[in-house]
Every structure is written in structure tokens, then in C-alpha cells.
Amino acid sequence: MWKCAECGAALEARCKPGKCKNCGAAKDKLNKEPKEIKGKK
């Protein structure tokens, strides 16, 4: 999971996307987001 620092969009991808698919921000604007903690809903 990657989060765009520009628009806040969450991108689901195994590896880092080239750019934000929502706003087109460069990949350096994408921050790794830890997966949701299991057992918590």
C-alpha cells in the first residue's frame, strides 16, 4: 500500500508505482503505508 503525499490517494500495489494514478504525482511523493493490522476492524 502506498499513499500519495499530494492528493492522499491510497494506491494498492506490490511494488512502488511509477506515479500516482490519481493525480499523477511523481513516485517520490508516494510513501509506504503499513498494511492494516490483522485482527482489528
Q: Which residues bind Zn ion (CB under 5 A)?
A: 4, 6-7, 9, 20, 22-23, 25
**Minimum distance from residue 38 beta carbon to Zn ion (Å):** 27
**Minimum distance from residue 16 beta carbon to Zn ion (Å):** 13
Q: State the Cα–Cα distance between residues 24 and 31, nearest whole angstrom.
A: 14
Nearest residue (CB) to Zn ion, 22 versus 31: 22
Q: Nearest Cα to 3, choosing from 41, 38, 37, 35?
A: 35
Nearest residue (CB) to Zn ion, 28 versus 40: 28
